[in-house]
Structures are given as C-alpha cells and as structure tokens.
Amino acid sequence: MLLGLDLSTQSLSALLIEPAAGTIQAEVSVNFGADLPAYGSPSGFLPGGTGGVVHADPRMWMDALDLLLGRLAAVADLSQVKAIACSGQQHGSLYFDATFEERLGRLDPAQALSGQLAPALSRATAPIWMDTSTGVECQEIAAALGGPAEVCRLSGSVAVERFTGPQIRRFFKTEPEAYAKTARIHLVSSFAASMLAGESIGIDYGDGAGMNLLNLHTLDWDDALLQATAPGLREKLPAPVEPASIAGTISPYFATKYGFSSSCRIVPSTGDNPSSLIGMGAASPGTIVISLGTSDTFFAAMEKAVTDPQGFGHVFGNPAGGFMSLICFRNGSLAREALRDELGADWAAFDRAGLALTSAGDDGNRMLPFYGPEITPRRDFTGPVRQGDAAFQRGENPPAQIRALLEGQFLNMRLHSQWIGEKAALIRLTGGASKNEGIAQLVADIFQTPVERFAVANGAALGAALRAAHATGHALPELEERFCKPAAGSRLEPDPSLAAVYEQALTDYRKLLNGES
Ligand code: ADP
Ligand code: XUL
C-alpha cells in the first residue's frame, strides 16, 4: 500500500491506496478548527492579523500529524505501507534554529511531536498563502533584479505577495535577530516530509517554484534572487530535489508509534496544486484542470515552459516531469455567492434551468465579474462593472445578471490563459461548483472543449498517494487509468454552434476590461 497525505489550509488528510487493485483502502482526516480547537484557528489560521498578515501555528500541524496517524492506525495495518508522499498548501513557510535537525533525529515516541519540535521554532508562527503583507518586499525584489519581467523569466512568476521569498524578506527586515538565528526554512510540504523522515527533506520543483527563489532553467536556487531576498539564505534552504525520487526512510518515531515498517520510504513532497495535477489524471499536456472552489484555479501540464508576459499566471515544476501552469482567480465562488445573495437567488438559478432563461452571449450584456480585489487581472475592483441595456446596467433582470457574471468569469479565465498557447482536448472540473451542470456546460461552451467531472473529492491527497506509487516503481499512466476516473455520466460536450458567439464575446470582454468600449 501507498500513503498520500495532504496538509491543506483547513485540514490534514490521509488516503491509503492499493495500487495494483486500484482501490482506496482508507481515508481519514483531521480538521484543524473542529479537532484542535485549542489553537484558536477555526479556518486553519490565526484570525485577527492586520496589514494583510495571515499566519498559522505550526504546532497545530505537528499535533494534527500525530492525531491523523493515530486515527489511520486504528483502521489500517500501516506495516504494509511501502512509501509515503505528502502534498501541502503552497507558499507557507516555517523557521527553525540550529537545534532542529538534532531534535528531528532523536524523536521520542513516548512524547508528542509538538513538544519536541516546537522549541526549535525561531519564528513562532508561519505565514501562509493567504498573507498579502509583502507588497513592499515584492517591489524591492523586482527592483533588485531590474524589473518584474526578469523575476518572472527566472522563477516562473513575478514577485507575488504570498510567495515565500517576499515573505522571507519581510521576516528578515522586521525580525533580523530571529532571522539570524534561523538555520532551516521549510515549506509546509517539505516540513511534513521532514517530520516523517526524521531529517530535513529537500523542496521539490513543484512547490519550490512558488517561492520566487527557484531558477526554472537550472532547477537550483538562483543566486540573484537569493541575494535580493535575504542574506545567507542558501544555507537555510533545503536543496531542491527531483519530485519522483526517494528522499528518505521513515523515522523510528513513526515506526514505533504507529506500526509503520522501518523500511517505509519517504518521497519528496509537493504543493497541493502540483499534487492535484497528478490526482486529477492531468500529468501530461492536453488536459486542463479547473477547480471551482472559494477561489477558482486553472492549471495544466505544459508542453513547453513559457511564462505569462502580463505576470498574472505562474509556472511550477510538474511532479511528473516538465512544467505546469497555474492561474488563480480570487473572485470565484466568492463572486458567485455575492451575486446569488444580492439577488436573493439560489444555486438553481445558476444551473441549467436558470441559464435557459437567457441565451449565450445574451444580447451583449457583459460583466467584469469582480466583487472585490482580483489577482487575475491584478486590480482593486470594488464591485462588478456592467455594460449592456439600461435595466441590466441598473442591476435588474436576475437571469441576465447571472449569465453575465458566469460568462464574464470564464471569458476572463479563457483570456488570461491564452499566454500558455496550447489547445486542450479535455477539461477536468473539480471543486464545490463543479457539480452544477449549468456552470459545467458553460465552461465546455466557452472553452469549446469537453468537460469531465471527478468522483474523488481530495485530488491533492490522491495525487500524493499516486506519487508515492510512481516513485516506488509503478507506471503513472497505469495508475491514472485505475484511479483517475470521471464520475459516470459526468462528461459534457461543447455546443459547436456557440463557438462564434463566444469568440465575439471574448473580444467584447477584452475591450471592456481594457476600457476601450
Ligand atoms: P474550498 O475552496 O473551500 O475547498 P469547495 O471546492 O469546497 O471550496 O467549494 C465550495 C463552494 O462551492 C461553496 O462555497 C459554494 O459557493 C460552491 N457551491 C456549492 N454548491 C454549488 C452549486 N450547486 N452551484 C454553484 N456553486 C456551488
Ligand atoms: C496557489 C495558492 C493556493 C494554495 C492553497 O498559488 O496559493 O492554491 O496552494 O492551498
């Protein structure tokens, strides 16, 4: 059996698979808010941060690992686990002093992880991906490199507030003494693997590319980026590692405490989006994954590594080799819910029957579908921008508002993914809104690409389990064949008669966004 763990924003989950049979043997999870209330983090982070600061308590993640493996050991024989891989929320970082490695190496199974590792924290809390406090640091890093385009060319992304490099720079500037005491910096994902291995494990090219520090051409830390970020940084970072490799063997702590075999292997971790790419069966170019969650994300394996000249999209290492694109849209379900509540409507109004009240491209009613600041495109919207007939512009005619919002969202996604320059054969849709048939059909029509939906809810944990299997000798195409199946009857074909309508709508949308109409 192979084990995949996903340390995400709100929970830590485990998925145990039997690769030859293609079966999921066990699935357990720990919810940070509900299971570990003492950390005062109902949504997985410490509330009340000011100036864009969003941090989490790393001790909560340590306790969660003990709790999770205790639950898993109660339902499965962990001595049968050949290898473990982890996935983690991207960009978040943990800071440890010089005692960390030694503490990791002599963990006592009679005690909890948190009591033994927390004393090594040189920064009590960990900034996570929701943190937007580093605008100044992003500008400083870009300036040091001669502009944002150079940061993007080297690292695959312009300097971004949530990315780890700008976060490290802010720590160095605001707490120089604590930074100087820091001997080891981990990402959430590499920290999870390091606990399991009892030694620091390297950072893979998938999650490493979310730091503005990894040079995508050399797949090593980039000296110019390191220097622009903070002094002495190379020594504090674990080395970048090939994702499909064996990084270590399980620590005696976990073998003794939870019954793992002492030969169980630890595979390098990756970020939750790269991991989902594998879990959604999209490891090879040609399949796009669109996740309709709180925010919407778009990602796909890339044929060739190109970067977004506008600086909104990102390029990460693909854990299966090569590269992947990732584009985040902040106003996903957030905006759909805002309009639903504004109109006093329900999700049925966003589904097939509701959308059937209007027609595609509805008489030129267009909307820039943003209820607050957006990151793609990066702009401080304060509410939707409407263009169309008078009633529509006044916010009347609910069916037209809903269609314009949804069309605006997916036209915006199509427009801002054009830099990738590849036509996909298939879209795999996941996340809460993907069960909505009307929305799924709209995605198929606007992209003129078939859409499939998935049965497995936790693509990141499944991706981790498949990576553990891949790294221990199972072929990825066969694993995908067995595990990455669309839900029966979930495939939707695009309506070819709408191709021209949405081509025109895309042109109109672009003009509205650029203020040309
Ligand atoms: P998260 O990003 O928190 O993991 P999920 O992928 O679980 O989010 O998606 C949850 C969201 O899905 C809800 O907040 C809700 O807006 C949306 N949602 C749920 N059901 C529907 C539906 N039938 N139609 C459209 N959106 C839906
Ligand atoms: C990606 C990002 C988020 C986190 C959430 O850039 O910030 O998707 O990975 O888990």
Residue ranges per structural domain of the chain: 2-274, 281-453+487-517
Query: What ligand 1 atom has the least distance to the C-alpha of 295?
Result: 2
Smallest-distance ligand from the CA of 292: 1
Of the CATH numbers 3.40.50.2000, 3.40.50.2300, 3.40.50.10490, 3.30.420.40, which one belongs to the domain with range 281-453+487-517? Answer: 3.30.420.40
What is the whole-number distance in angstroms between the Cα of residue 433 and the centre of ligand 1? 5
Smallest-distance ligand from the CA of 56: 2
2-274 against 281-453+487-517: fold identical: yes
| Region 2-274: CATH code | 3.30.420.40
DSSP per residue, 89-132: -SS-EEEE-TTHHHHHHT--TTS-HHHHHGGGBSSSSEE-TT--
Q: How many Å apart are CA 475 and CA 15, to the nearest integer? A: 19
**What pLDDT is recorded for position 407?**
98
**What pLDDT is recorded for position 363?**
82
**What pLDDT is recorded for position 456?**
74
Q: How many Å apart are CA 302 and CA 321, to the nearest integer? A: 10
Give 3-state DSSP helix, strand, coil % of the chain, rounded to 5.
45, 20, 40
**Maximum Cα–Cα distance for the chain, whole Å?**
71
Q: How many Å apart are CA 145 and CA 482, to the nearest integer? A: 46
pLDDT along the chain (517 residues), means of 10: 96 97 96 98 96 97 98 98 98 98 98 98 97 97 98 97 98 98 98 98 98 98 98 98 96 98 98 96 96 93 92 97 96 95 97 96 93 93 95 96 98 98 94 94 98 87 98 96 92 97 97 93
Residue 266: its H or E element? strand 265-266
Q: How many Å apart are CA 309 and CA 266, to the nearest integer? A: 37
For a mutational test of ligand 2's pocket, the pick from 7, 129, 158, i.e. the residue with the most ligand atoms closer than 8 A to its C-beta, is 129
Residue 457 CB contacts under 8 Å (≥ 6 apart), including other chains: none
**What pLDDT is recorded for position 381?**
93
**What pLDDT is recorded for position 16?**
98
Query: What ligand 1 atom has the least distance to the C-alpha of 430?
Result: 6
Residue nearest to atom 6 of ligand 2 (CA): 90
Q: How many Å apart are CA 78 and CA 255, to the nearest integer? A: 9
